[in-house]
Amino acid sequence: MNSNQTTSSQSMAAMNAFYPMIVVTGLIQLLVPSTIHIIMVHYNLKPGEAGILPFIFFSGIMICAFVITHLIKKLTIKSIMIFTTIIVSVSLLAASQSQIFYVFAFLCLFIGFGTGVLLMVPGIYATNIYGKKSAQLQSLIFSFLALGFVIGPVFPGIISYLEISWRWSFAFPGLLILPALLPILLVKHEPVDEAEKLSVHIVKEIISFDRKFFIGIVITIIIAAGSTVALLTWLITFFEVERGTSLGTAHIVLAFIGVANVIGRLFWRKVSAKITVFRTLFIIVPISAILVFLAPLSEVTTINIVLFFTVFLFISAINPLLLSVASIYPRLYSSSAYTIFFMSMTMGGIIIPFCIGQIFQYAGPEIGISSISLMFVIATGMLFFIKTEIPIIKQIYHNPFP
């Protein structure tokens, strides 16, 4: 009994060591949304042109997703995290000094790659080591990520308000990420040695369990994740261009919305544990569609802020709950399934914010934000599309669906 308790304690300590790094990862993920308006001014860019930055950042994450299972099979968790932290730190510091936009954009590719590794390793570790607890742990991972979303906009907001160089927004996290590595260095992580490398054969095996379910869940993740990233990317631009908020104020709003992310993920994490993941998604996705449509319509800024806060109380839980579905696959395939779903989330982050940027440029910020609601309507339709497959998927794995 004592031995089991010790093993459990050691195992959870290994998981807990990831959380400071995940917070910093959240801060880094919000760098482009927090500074895109300043970068546009500095490099003389239009919204449609600036939309290439999240495209490049998430392309880096996509590259990471292709290689992550191979890295995990060849290297230890600790060595992966050390090497990646150095890549992200150097890339952020170099970006902070870049004088040419194309160089800056190229460095965003490496920042995206490293950020993807730092987020995916804990997710794969939770899926592979903790199995049935994956849904709760994914929500906890994304809650710490959301905590980074709270902190992320604050520093760029202060910089904007004080009219300090925006370059410090990238230099600061480049230094902050180094001490976040310390807890990972101090604990022992179990090897993820039962996970197969992501390959065409493994993808075919995963799809073969239930093709309709797999296609439906992947499309849902692409749409829902991309829409969430689009909201975060263009929210500050909406408030500063459409509502005329002062410099730094919109950053406070984004940090305020980060609080909604934390609260929402913790709340829906508990709800999903009681009523299942899919029943929870059938609640929050349709409501998100309605709220996203309504949030930008009022001309009163305070009402906009309250509605966007409410939006993220619901939207915040969608991505971690969808990613947790990977745990229903056999342990041999769960890491690859998680990677595929994460790649789908990344694909959404590549495509949808860029498209919304075009709408911002040609139709205006208000229509641009409201148009994202259509994505959540489609995601709701996809959930109904795969609803009939849930009993089948349960039967296949003889495992209670999360």
- 3-state helix/strand/coil string of 320-386: HHHHHHHHHCCHHHHHHHHHHHHHHHHHHHHHHHHHHHHHHHHHCHHHHHHCHHHHHHHHHHHHHHH
Q: pLDDT grade, residue 11 (50/70/90)? A: low
* Structure confidence at residue 398 (pLDDT): 41
Nearest to 138 by CA among 321, 386, 382, 375: 321
Q: Give the residue among 79, 83, 66, 77 at the shortest CA–CA distance from 336.
A: 66
Q: Which tens digits make up the pLDDT trace of 254-278?
A: 778 878 888 988 898 888 878 888 8
Count how many residues are written for the chain.
402
How many structural domains are present in the chain?
A: 1
Select from 137, 359, 72 the least CA-distant residue to 227: 359
Rounded-to-integer distance, Cα 223 and Cα 376, Å:
7
Question: In this structure, is residue 7 part of a structural domain?
Answer: no
Which positions ≥6 away from 221 have C-beta within 8 Å?
Answer: 319, 322, 323, 341, 344, 345, 348
Name the pLDDT band for 5 (thresholds 50, 70, 90): very low
For the stretch 334-368, what's the b/e string if a residue is b when 16 or more beta carbons lie within 10 angstroms of its beta carbon?
bbbbbbbbbbbbbbbbbbbbbbbbebbbeeebbeb
What is the residue range of 383's domain? 13-173+195-397
Token pair, residue 100, equals 């040419």
Residues 6+ apart with CB under 8 A from 292: 227, 231, 311, 315, 369, 370, 372, 373, 376
**Does residue 1 form part of some domain?**
no
**C-alpha 29 chain-centroid distance:** 8
The mean pLDDT value for 48-59 works out to 81
Residue 211 lies in a domain: yes
**Is 100 among the domain residues?**
yes
Nearest 10 degrees: CA dihedral of 346, 199, 17, 114?
Answer: -50
Helix 372-387 with 211-237: angle, nearest 10 deg: 160
Q: Is residue 25 within 8 Å of residue 113, measured between CB atoms? A: no
Q: Is residue 144 part of a domain?
A: yes
Location of structure tokens 């305070």 = 302
What CATH number has the domain bearing residue 335? 1.20.1250.20
Q: If you search the block for the tokens 């309504």, which residue do you land on?
A: 294
Residue 133 lies in a domain: yes
Q: 201-218 in b/e burial notation, b at 16+ Cβ within 10 A?
A: ebbebbeebbeebbebbb
Token reading at 246: 């002062």
Residue 284 is assigned to a structural domain of this protein = yes
In whole angstroms, what is the distance from residue 72 CA to residue 192 CA?
A: 7
Residue 389: C-alpha distances to residues 82, 217, 394, 397 (Å): 41, 11, 9, 13
Q: At residue 326, does pLDDT exceed 90? A: no
What's the pLDDT tens digit per position in 168-198? 888 888 999 999 999 999 988 887 766 566 7
Q: Mean pLDDT, to the nearest integer, of 66-71?
A: 82
Q: What percent of the chain is predicted at pLDDT more than 70?
A: 89
- Asked if pLDDT for residue 161 goes beyond 90, the answer is no
CB contact set of 303 (below 8 Å; sequence gap of 6+): none
**4 falls within a domain:** no
Contact indicator for 342, 63 with CB cutoff of 8 Å = no
Separation CA 50–CA 46 (nearest Å): 6
Question: Residue 71 has what pLDDT?
Answer: 84
Whether the pLDDT of residue 151 is over 90: the answer is no
